[in-house]
Structure formats: C-alpha cells, structure tokens
Structure 1
C-alpha cells in the first residue's frame, strides 16, 4: 500500500505541475531573477526617446490595444506575413507605428538575457512607460506573457474596433474581450494624445451616407474648419489631424470635453454619446479630478493587458519579434 500511495502522490504532483505550467498567472517582477535589468532597460530606452517623439506614446498604446484584441496580448500584431497575410496587413493596422521601436528594445533585452523576455511583455511595458513619459498615468504591469505563433489578417479586420464603428459594434467587440462599457469610455480616453489621418474620418465630412453629405453628429463649425484647413478632400490619405487639438501632448481629460462638444473625430467617439451609460461615464469623469481619471484608466488598461494571455508552456519567447522561432 505504501508504494501505491507514493505513486499516487507522485502522479498527483505531476498532474499539478502540468496544470500549473499551462495555467500560470502573470505576476509583477516575473523577470526579477531571470532578467533583473529587463524592465529598467525598457523604461530607460522609452523615456529617452519619447522626449523627442511624444507622438510615439499614442502609437505604442494603440499597438498594445490592437495586439490584445486579436488572440490576446501575445505580440501577434508584430509578426510578418508568411504563407498567410498577418495582422499587421489588416486595414486597422496599416497605420500602426512603432514596430522598429519595439525591435530596438528587443535587441537590447536580448543582448542582456537571450531568449527570456517576450515581445508581448515588451509591448505592454513600453506602452505603459511611454504614457508615463508624457506625464500620463502609471499602471502596474504584471509580466510573464509568452508570444503567440499565429497572426491572421481576417481576425484583425473582424475584431479590432474601427473608427467608423457605431455603439452596438463597439459594445460587442469590447464585450468579446471581457471589457465593459466603462472600459470602452476609459480606453477611448487614450485619444487624448493621439493623431489621425484624414482618411479615418473624412467620410463624416464629405460623404456620410453616400449622398455627399456631412455627419449631423459632428459639430458643423468644426467640420467646416476641418474641410477648410485640414482635410480638403475625401481622398486625403496623408494629412494628420490632432484628436485633442491644443492638448495632444498632454494626457488629460480634454478628449472627453471635445466629445461632449461633438468634436470627436471618429464615429466611434461620437458613438459614446448615443448610450446613456457611456455618456454618463464621460460626465462623471469630467466632474472628477484628472487624478481620478488616471486611476480609472490604469485599471482598464491593466485589465486589457490580461486578455487571453499565454503563460507557462503556451506559445514561445520569440528571438525576433517579427518571426516565429524556427
């Protein structure tokens, strides 16, 4: 009996080990022993470069968002196309920037600790550090994500909210990721430091319903200003417009004030006013302090950073972020 009990205990321990490795959780300081300088290397590089290119902060938080909405936060957005078209070639990702920036960070971390730190964690940490470098909120980033090995254009096209999304679509796509309406409002707040190409909203100015008309939900004076000085035709794919004019380098509450004035650039911005819950959430944020906004934003973005993460023995640690390991 004794030997049978020992075998049973060993078997249970073995099962627990397998389950534990596949269901491992993210944790703060995951690399404390395996690569203790990793987070500092990332932070220092980001801080050094965001000073000279503050618009990159918006690009990196957007990359993090687009990555997490497809297959979870697994750096699948970074993979190049091979036999199939990858996420980065999908329409929502054609204007995503920062791939070279992430590659440069990866090379620094690889030089310190080869094969240890995932590209997925680098995106997540760089997004946080870049927002902090602009004076925005700090949030905790538990690490231990592993990199995915699949990247699919169709999934990205179907799962990433588009600037033209209405409220129903936004609610569905956020809900699919376990995010609620409060998260929708708070994560939209990242537009406070963003810029957009005219092509992402020019239909609202020139051809909203296919009758060469203007979106009635866009402030008419603002629309006139945009058409006169910025987006002079529906085919303008190069001009860039600030999403939070006059305050785009500062992470603050101004984006929500602009939305309430019906001056949000995207249909997805305007959609926040079409639902009583999201509109009320905006009002409450504006009645509170910027510190409260920071704290609430931090909760939502940390929640987003946990979407369908791969941990333990899932996925891999890519040597180069744009290709799976051979």
Structure 2
C-alpha cells in the first residue's frame, strides 16, 4: 500500500467528513429515512452487499460514482439512468456519454437482495446514492460522507434529455459553471466534484482531440504538460482503439485521494474540463486548497450531499421500482404507490 494512501486512511479516521446534523435535509431528503419504514436495515444491507462486491472489484467505486453523477445531472437523482430502452423509446443509457458506464449488475444484485427482505420499500435512486458512497468508502472501512435518503424512482428516461444536461469532458469553464449553477451547485461543488476523477479510467476518445487536433490544425493543447501529452499519445495513438483506456489520475486511479488536484496544478489534468479549472482565478484557488486531504474530503462530502439532492422525487412522486431496469409500466401487475415509504 502506498505511503500516501496510508496517510489518507489516518486522515479519514481523524476527520469527520460532511456529517449532516440530525433532521437535516436536502430537497425533502433526510438522514436515516428507512428507520421510519418497514426496512430499518436498508442502509446496512446496501453497505454489506456493496463491500462484498468491492472486495472483488477495486474499480467498483469509480463505476458507481460515475453512474450516480450521470443520473443526478439528467432529470435529477431518480435512477432514470438505470432504466432500459423500451421499444423505440431510447433511454438515457443509450446516449453516447453513457455507453461506457458500468456497475449496473451491482445495483441489480443489491436491489434483488433487498426486495427479498423489504419488498417495495427501498428506491433504486437511494440504492444508487448509497452504494456509490459505500463502494468509494470500502478501502477506508467507514462511510466517507453522509447520504440523505427518501428519494423516489422516476418513471421516465429519454436519450434526448442527456445532451445539454450532462457535464462534458470537452467543456470550458464558463460552460461548466453555467451547467452546475442550473443544477443548484456552486463553484466549490464544481471543483470538489471534479475530484471524483481521482479514481477510474477514461476512453481515449474523451481526450484524444487535445493530443492530435486541438484547434483543427493537427496540434496539441498547449495547456497540457508536453511530457504528459507524449505519454498519452503513446497510450492512445491516432486513431485510437475505442476500447483503450488510461488512468484519469496517473498512477493513482485506484486511490481516492488528493493526487488529482496536484496533477491538475501540474497541467496534467486529462480532460479539457480538468484543465478548465485553472482558467478561473476562484476555481484555481480552490484546486490548490483541495490538495489538502481534510479540505478535499470535507468539501467533497458536502458537495455529494448537494448533488444528491438535485431535482429529487419525494413523498408520493414517482414510484418504488421492483426492478431498477424497468418502471411499473414495464412490470405488469406491479403497482406500488410507496405507502410504506411515507411516514
């Protein structure tokens, strides 16, 4: 285990990260929602199953965190990203930015096991939010941020909703800031949530233009560190194999740490959206601040709570799906108004 990662374990054990107070809420959500339902063991079950799968898949945290992001920015955190295409109505899953998402089998497994114990009570949206947190937290053996619960599942998933709502790796800073503001997130959230790029990999197509044709003249993005650019070119030659991936955070893609912010400050951010964080004086200052572990973990936790509250469905809105891949209209005979999920 790397010395840096060992140090971060110590930091996390000493720092209380984004602990929401009792009764606090975001968008009608609250802590320990399922303690007042017929499934008080819900969060424990999600954690046990997620950690069991994470033991065999060190990339699960990156996968589920990305799915959670892609869900919340399109129609809010309603698990619409999990719905399959029905007939000719293509779902969000079929949108190009979502074709490389993974971890859906883990969500299916969690939902299936919880349905056996607490049928019709725990939403797929909450399972996704909880499992993303728990998968990232697995190496630390403790939850790294609080997840407020009480979300309901959406019934609609449209491929046409993805464009213009999902942050793009090709975005400049003004575009990112405008999009985040539309979702109720501020510049601190923008920078902190970009820190999720500290884990996981990216396909070459998400950044190859920076290497080979940045302005349409066969050039390389001048904001990218030249040595790092050459390394990326060797990994992703032009034209790149669509299946080829590289680490988003070089030599640290399995460790949830602050290494990402150090690399951004060295002009080694993989995406244009990473490099864009240095193009604004305020965000550049936050990037520097978040190189400090306790500052990053604290702000990331707060920002995940904020993101997890985007346009949520609560109360009697939406539904509680029996299967995370299909809404009630796709499950004849299944009709759940969610009475057990209301107090």
TM-score (norm 2): 0.85
Q: Does 1:158 align with 2:164?
A: yes
Structure 1 residue 99: Cα displacement: 1.2
Aligned counterparts, 1:199-210, within 5 A: 199-210=205-216
Higher normalized helix content (fraction of residues): 1
Unaligned runs of 5+ in 2: 1-25, 330-343
Aligned counterparts, 1:19-38, within 5 A: 25-32=28-35, 33-38=37-42
In 2, Cα distance between equivalents of 1:38 and 1:52: 22
Q: Any conservation in 2 of the 1:262–1:270 contact (CA below 8 Å)?
A: yes
In 1, Cα distance between equivalents of 2:66 and 2:284: 23
Structure 1 residue 112: Cα displacement: 0.7
Q: Which string of whole-angstrom CA distances, capped at 9 and with x for unpartnered residues, describes residues 179-212 of structure 1?
A: 0111000000011112111111111111112211
Q: Tell me how large the CA RMSD over aligned residues is.
A: 1.5
Q: Any conservation in 2 of the 1:199–1:234 contact (CA below 8 Å)?
A: no
Q: Does 1:315 align with 2:318?
A: yes
Structure 1 residue 226: Cα displacement: 1.4
Q: 2:304 aligns with which of 301, 304, 315?
A: 301
Aligned counterparts, 1:77-156, within 5 A: 77-82=81-86, 83-135=88-140, 138-156=144-162
In 2, Cα distance between equivalents of 1:39 and 1:92: 30
Q: Does 1:43 align with 2:47?
A: yes
Over 3 Å counting, the alpha-carbon distance change for 1:77 and 1:40 in structure 2 is same
**Which protein shows a greater Rg?**
1
Structure 1 residue 134: Cα displacement: 3.0
Aligned to 2:340: none
TM-score (norm 1): 0.89
Q: Which string of whole-angstrom CA distances, capped at 9 and with x for unpartnered residues, describes residues 88-114 of structure 1?
A: 111111111111111111000101111
In 2, Cα distance between equivalents of 1:174 and 1:24: 16
Q: Which string of whole-angstrom CA distances, capped at 9 and with x for unpartnered residues, describes residues 111-138 of structure 1?
A: 1111110000000000110111133861
In 2, Cα distance between equivalents of 1:235 and 1:69: 29
Aligned counterparts, 1:160-309, within 5 A: 160-228=166-234, 230-286=235-291, 288=292, 290-309=293-312
Q: Any conservation in 2 of the 1:24–1:312 contact (CA below 8 Å)?
A: no
